[in-house]
Amino acid sequence: MSDIKPADINILRAKGEESLYPDRPKIGISMASCGLAAGAGKILETIEGELKNLDLDWIVTKTGCPGFCQKEPLLYYHAPGKEKIYFGELTEKKAKDLVKELSENTVDRDFATWKIMSDVTIDDKTLFISEETEIEDIPLYQEYDFFKKQHKIALRNCGFIDPQSIEEYIAKGGYAAFQKALKMKPDEVIDFIKKSGLRGRGGGGFPTGLKWELCSKEDSDIKYIICNADEGDPGAYMDRSILEGDPHSIIEGMLIGAYGIGSNEGYIYVRAEYPLAIELLDIAVQQARENGFLGANILNSGFSFDINLAYGAGAFVCGEETALIASIEGRPVEPRIRPPFPSQSGLWEKPTNINNVETWANVPPIILKGHDWYSSLGTETSKGTKVFSLVGKINNTGLVEVPMGITLREIIYDVGGGIIDNKKFKAIQTGGPSGGCLPESHIDLPVDYESLKEAGSIMGSGGMIVVDEDTCIVDLAKFFIDFTRDESCGKCVSCRDGLDACHEILNKITEGKSALEDLDYLEELGQSIVDFSMCGLGTTAPNPVLTTLRYFKDEYIAHIEKKECSAKVCKALITYEIIKDNCVGCQACARLCPENAIKGQKDKVHKINQELCIKCGVCFDTCRYDAILIRSGDK
Amino acid sequence: MVNITINDQEYDIEEGKTILEAAQAMGLEIPTLCYHKALSPYGACRLCTVEIELNGRTMYQASCQYLVEEGMNIQTESERVVNGRKKMIELLLARAPEAEDILDLAYKYGVKDTRFLKEFDDVCILCGLCIRVCHDRMGFKAIEFINRGIERKVSLPFEDFHEVCRTCGSCSTYCPTGAKAVQLENLTHHTPRPILSEFDQGLATRPAVYTPFPQAVPKIPVIDRNNCIHFQTGECKICQDVCEPDAINYEQEDEIVEREVGAIVVTTGFDPFDPNRLPQYGYGKYPNVITSLEFERISSASGPTEGEIIFPGVTEIKSAAILHCIGSRDENTNRYCSRLCCMNALKAANLIRDKLPDSHVYEFYIDIRAAGKGYEEYYQKMLRSDIRIIRGKVAEITNIPDLPEDEGRLTVVAEDTLLGAILRVPVDLVILMVGIEPKKDARDLAHILHLPCTEEGFYNEKHPKLAPTETVIEGIHVAGACQFPKDVPDSVAQGESAAAAVLSKIARGEYITEPTKAEIVDDHCSGCRNCIGLCPYLAISFDEEEEIAKIDSALCQGCGVCVASCPSGAIIHRGYTDKQIFAEIEGVLER
């Protein structure tokens, strides 16, 4: 039972501010999954050890991921009254030295990546401002290339606060939106979200306010709301970052949604492969309950709401809302036909509203800062910002939150810093495995729901995979088809056997055993899978094939007619040869060849026995004289 | 009602119907493999996908699941739909290349071949019909899909045999691949217990709802309660759902109907002799030793083998033996002749020669009884054919061969009494011409109706020449084999005769009888009821009001038993009173 008063919230807020900006120097280490994978655990140990060594009474805290995953392990240092300085790409040694240097004020500026001079919350409260700067030459956060074009709304707190502290969340303006919403009527809340133009960030792009309204109009005592945290796209981790960096923002978003819709029970469906997210969510829900934000009669408003966690067991298709519901209910996961929509008959046949993590995280700022503010961002039909996970052959990989309508070029070159080694940009796969592969001719395409759809791709949940000239487009399409083939629930013939058939044809193409008419057949088959499948997985799964056939047909034809893989990826179509003029006869390759396919006497030109060669590429990687040539077709 | 357009034709359809239901109701065909009227639609085969235009949007949806909406414009065979269907059929063919339903669709849509033939043996197309019928209708939940995507298959919990399956067989009945995909023996260690068709002599199976035999009167299906799942578990009810005239009523009970009638014709027929009583012939031991009735079904074009003479375990029938008088003319079983077996045996021999022209047929007889119109001529014709008709009773059927090449065949051991030689004939088929016996419960009925029987239990007629259909009980007639072995023509003749006899009595409106009847002198009757039990014709009843016995003069045959037994001398024999007899004696003595 909650009897928390706004005054109590102020106490929490003060505690949070104290914890965010204490009167002692503070080190915040980014400890989300990406940071941990890069070794943040060791960095934390090192730093704590070094602080003890030097007998420094600093505060060390764990934060989520600030988004620039390329720079992990990452930490910030903040001394009272000074700017907040971020240090990236740490090693244990660097971290050890850093503590010492910081304490002695002799920091090597090359070390530092960017700095933050002030912190203003979403409800416009200035938490700190630093007039002076210690280190002049480090770029400001808002001027730093990676962040310059970003506008963080959903990711507003990620990397800045301790995800295990409800006080820090409140200090950053958390739960203020919920309090504001409680003063509104439920239908006003829904109207507010409708006016903001927020659309579902999970893939479909259905207007969120309208979705809430449909559910709220259903006549039922019990209604459920669900947060879909079953993020399964390969290479995409927007939701994980929010779950690990700012779990309370989801709880607050769900509270507002529940209040608007009239629901008293919610579920967060999170995949079991996100153990850290589950741990942090569990803590956050517990804290919200303890502090009276979840439970009965919240803030004496008469409104009651609680959240349960449900764990997915790793099926990609559970991201589809009807399959997700089946999973929570404990049934085998198979999507079912809509209508009836979950808003009519969802979890346990009660009206249910499902939004994904990013959508929920967007809700509090909209309520707090106004729908006009939100709808001023983005394009005519796609409002606000979108988080993308920018990965692949790009210099700056990480999570980027950019306003809708930004072009692919800006994302790739301005935010992403261009292609690694200045290679040639070839394509960008948007929308995860169900999305499409767009070529260079589309690089100035504004990123919004409609433009992407028109180009044959989708917004999806926000995966963006950049590929360069070294990537074979047929192989790429095959990779995604293999993924969706493995993840198909197997109910519809079209998806289950259709994708398997696509896989077979693509395999034939990459093995050089295909004929030109296969391409027409592949295209027809892809279209039929789109038309004949029931759920979102099947109807979008052929997109990678269909878009690559549309934009990169020449490459397919080259595979078939010339048996040529220009990216030199498809093993059946390449041969490794030795360039006589370059070979010095060092025998390095011959020693390492696992099949003993390379023969040659010392100081004499070597030769590769093509019959034995398994095309593992060891010789190519070993040769220091550029004497190994990969040949495919005429190239 | 919603107004929709299907293939440019407008229809008004009841709300809540699926597009498929609507189309089917309008006589339009949409292909589907995973839809069944009795089960919830599932949408796995995707073949019923149609093109729907609604509010300016075109979509493709499985018609079995999508509900009709006002203003829908539906195309069931648009180019894109047909293209998609072709692909689906090709993909389905890859799984079940020999399933007839799929081959029919492939033919219809011009799909000649599949390029994705699966390497595994499983021909399951994963339509889920078996699972749905097991879960939704049978209530057993014995099978379920496991795994996902291409690995998906129908399986048991933990992929192991278990107790839940009740071997009802509905899963294989619903399988569109012709039950090749779901086989009971792969599901459970419970032994499947097929319901054997009584009419087909247990040689074929039948469902729990069935028409007893093709010419049944009335030709109406019945429910076999002992085997119907609904009567075991309360589930299923599929027949009720699919019966359009709503004729299935599970509450119906057997009832006893009482009718007052003026005459009864007893035509209860016979039981065939049970050859298990003669173990030397190996019936029940060797699958290819069969009775004449079983042969009748096997050789029938509407029988379980569609007229082909085949048996499990027998590859080729090179020769057959037909054994006469099994349970007839035999001191050990029945001494009488069953009358029809000889001709039936000759017919069977003829049929075998007809269907298997290269085979040899042996008849082992005692005497040929060919008394009937054209029967002798038929016998003579058979004698002239190459059927070996051997006079002699078979001693034994054995599976121990004389020659190694006859391993696996049967040997008939008999004596040819005309040659005086012992024969050992290797055969592949033995037909036992089983005799005719009274029905097992013939004596029970005789007791109820007070009918006299022969020592075997056949009902006795009143007089073999003068009253061949009547019995001693006035108003009760007999016809057919319940009286004595008869073939069809004789049975029909006697039946018609009985019917005519009954009708002539009823139509006359009055009843002419012998005048000699017993009569009760009311004043003398003490009401002791001794006479009632003694009357063999059920003619005496007790009048509760007057407390005296009454004789129905229409039933009384004037036998006089009651007269002699009455302790108070209250019963007199009309025309044979003591007074009359004494007067007669006196008259004689006076001469």
Least CB-CB distance to A496: which of B87, B144, B152? B152
Task: Write the CB contacts of A189 (distance below 8 Å, at least 6 apart in sequence).
Answer: A181, A256, A259, A260, A367
- Window from A135-144, A304-313, A416-425, B562-571 with minimum mean pLDDT: A135-144
pLDDT tens, residue by residue, A180-226? 999 999 999 999 999 999 999 988 889 999 999 999 999 999 999 99
Q: Do domains B272-436 and B438-508 have the same CATH topology?
A: yes
Q: Domain A571-632: give its CATH code.
A: 3.30.70.20
Rounded-to-integer distance, Cα B19 and Cα B81, Å:
15
Alpha helices in B189-268 (DSSP H): 229-233, 238-242
Option in B60, B92, B148 nearest A315 (CB): B148
Instruction: State pLDDT tens for residues B519-548.
Output: 998 888 999 999 998 988 888 999 999 899
> How far is the C-alpha of A474 from the C-alpha of B263, rounded, in Å?
91
> Counting beta carbons within 10 angstroms of the beta carbon of residue B348, is it exposed (0 to 12), middle (13 to 18) or buried (19 or more)?
buried
B370, B310 in Cβ contact below 8 A? Answer: no
Residues of A with a Cβ under 8 Å from any B Cβ are 315, 317, 332-333, 337, 339, 485-494, 496-501, 504, 524-525, 527-529, 531-534
Fold of the B438-508 domain:
FAD/NAD(P)-binding domain (3.50.50)
Domains of chain B: which residue ranges? 2-108, 129-186, 272-436, 438-508, 518-590
Binary contact (B149, A487; C-beta < 8 A):
yes
Q: Is B153 left (phi over 0), alpha (psi -120 to 50) or beta?
A: beta
Coil, helix or strand at residue A630 = strand
Q: Which residue from B minimizes the CA distance to A483?
A: B149
B354/A356 Cα distance (integer angstroms) = 77
Tokens of A587: 């025998």
- The alpha-carbon gap from B79 to the nearest alpha carbon of chain A, in Å, equals 11
pLDDT tens digits along B559-574: 889 999 999 889 999 8
**Residue range B518-590, CATH number:** 3.30.70.20
Architecture of domain B272-436: 3-Layer(bba) Sandwich (3.50)
Helix (H, G, I), strand (E, B) or coil at B529: coil
Q: Assign A505 a pLDDT band (cuts: 50, 70, 90).
A: very high
Residue B464, preceding bond cis, omega within 30 degrees?
Answer: no
Strands A398-403 and A425-430: unpaired
pLDDT in tens, A68-102: 988 999 999 998 888 899 999 999 999 999 998 88
> Residue A437 pLDDT more than 60?
yes
Is residue A133's pLDDT more than 50?
yes
- Cβ contact A489–B149 (<8 Å): yes
The encoded tokens of residue B494 equal 């006697």
Question: Residue A398 pLDDT more than 70?
Answer: yes
A228, A320 Cβ separation under 8 angstroms: no
Closest CA to A464 of A529, A407, A530, A526: A407
Q: For A468-478, what is each residue's pLDDT tens digit?
A: 999 999 999 99
**A578-589: pLDDT as tens digits:** 998 999 989 889
CB A378 within 8 A of CB A199: no
Query: Nearest C-alpha of chain B: how many angstroms from A395?
Result: 36
Confidence band, pLDDT 50/70/90 cuts, at residue B202: confident
Residues of chain A with pLDDT > 90: what percent?
79
Binned at pLDDT 50, 70 and 90, residue B337 comes out as very high
pLDDT of B68 over the 50 cut: yes
For residue B366, pLDDT beyond 70: yes
What CA–CA distance (Å, rounded) separates A420 from A424?
A: 9
- Residues in chain A with CB shorter than 8 Å from the CB of B65 are 337
B95 touches chain A (CB under 8 A): yes
pLDDT band at A104 (very low <50, low <70, confident <90, very high): confident
Domain residue ranges of chain A, discontinuous segments joined by + = 19-143, 175-373, 385-468, 473-562, 571-632
Residue B544 neighbours by CB distance under 10 Å = 8
Give the CATH H-level superfamily of domain A175-373. NADH-ubiquinone oxidoreductase 51kDa subunit (3.40.50.11540)
Q: What region, left, alpha or beta, does residue B346 occupy, with left being phi > 0 and alpha being psi -120 to 50 degrees?
A: alpha
- Exposed e or buried b per residue across A66-80, where buried means at least 16 C-beta atoms within 10 angstroms of its C-beta: bbbbbbbbbbbbbbe
Quick one: pLDDT at residue A1? 44
**In the prediction, which pLDDT does A215 show?**
96
Of B432, B482, B454, nearest to B286 by C-alpha is B432
Asked whether the beta carbons of residue A497 and residue B150 sit closer than 8 angstroms, the reply is yes
Give the gap in angstroms from C-alpha B170 to the nearest C-alpha of chain A: 21
Report the CATH number of the A473-562 domain.
1.20.1440.230
Sheet holding A398-403, edge to edge: A398-403, A385-392, A463-468, A425-430, A436-439
Give the closest-approach CA distance of A463 to chain B in angstroms. 23
Q: What pairs with residue B73 in β-bridges? A: B5, B53
Higher-scoring residue by pLDDT: A411, B156: A411
Q: A326-376, pLDDT tens digit by residue? A: 999 998 889 998 889 999 999 999 999 999 999 999 999 999 999 999 999
pLDDT at A212: 96
Say which range, A15-29, A134-148, B558-572, has the weakest mean pLDDT: A134-148
pLDDT value at position A4? 59
Contact A337 B45 (CB under 8 A): no
For residue B382, give the amino acid letter: M
* Average confidence (pLDDT) over B396-401: 93
Residue keyed to tokens 């009358």? B339
* CATH code assigned to A385-468: 3.10.20.600
Model confidence at B183, pLDDT cuts 50, 70, 90, reads confident
Out of B91, B128, B147, whose CB is closest to A497? Answer: B91
* Nearest CA distance, B112 vs chain A (angstrom): 15
Give the pTM.
Answer: 0.81
H or E segment at B131?
helix B129-132
Query: pLDDT at position A289, please?
Result: 93
CA dihedral A527, A529, A531, A533 (to 10 degrees): -170
Residue with the bigger pLDDT between B589 and B178: it is B589
Give the model confidence (pLDDT) of B230-285 as tens digits. 998 898 999 998 888 999 999 988 899 999 988 999 999 999 999 999 999 999 99
| A269-309 pLDDT tens trace | 999 999 999 999 999 999 999 999 999 999 889 999 999 99
B126–A493 CB contact, under 8 Å: yes
Question: How big is the A-B interface in CB pairs under 8 Å?
Answer: 101
Mean pLDDT over B54-67 rounds to 94
Distances (CA, A) of B340 to A484, B291, B369, B377, B454: 73, 14, 8, 16, 19
Q: Which whole number is the average pLDDT over B31-58?
A: 94
Per-residue confidence band for A6, with pLDDT thresholds at 50, 70 and 90: low
Element (H, E) at A486: helix A473-487
Residues of chain A found within 8 Å of residue B46, distances taken between Cβ atoms: 492-494, 532-534
pLDDT at res. A550: 94
Mean pLDDT (chain B) is: 91
Task: Check residue B141 and give its pLDDT.
Answer: 87
Burial of B251 (0-12, 13-18, 19+ CB in 10 A): exposed
pLDDT at A5: 61
- What 8-state DSSP symbol labels residue A558? I
Q: Which residues of A are less than 8 Å from B128 in CB distance?
A: 491
A147-168: pLDDT as tens digits? 999 999 999 999 999 999 999 9
Give yes or no for B62 touching A (CB within 8 A): yes
pLDDT of residue A524: 95
Select the residue of A486, A524, A531 nearest B149 (Cβ to Cβ).
A486
What is the CATH superfamily name and number for domain A19-143? Glutaredoxin (3.40.30.10)
CA–CA min distance A537, chain B (Å): 12
Flag whether pLDDT at B11 surpasses 90.
yes
ipTM score for this prediction: 0.89
Q: Which residues have a Cβ under 8 Å from the Cβ of A624 and sit 6 or more positions away? A: A586, A588
For residue B255, give how far its alpha carbon lies from the nearest alpha carbon of chain A (Å): 45
Average pLDDT over residues B54-82: 94
Under the banding of pLDDT at 50, 70 and 90, the label for residue A7 is low
At the topology level, CATH places domain B2-108 in Ubiquitin-like (UB roll) (3.10.20)
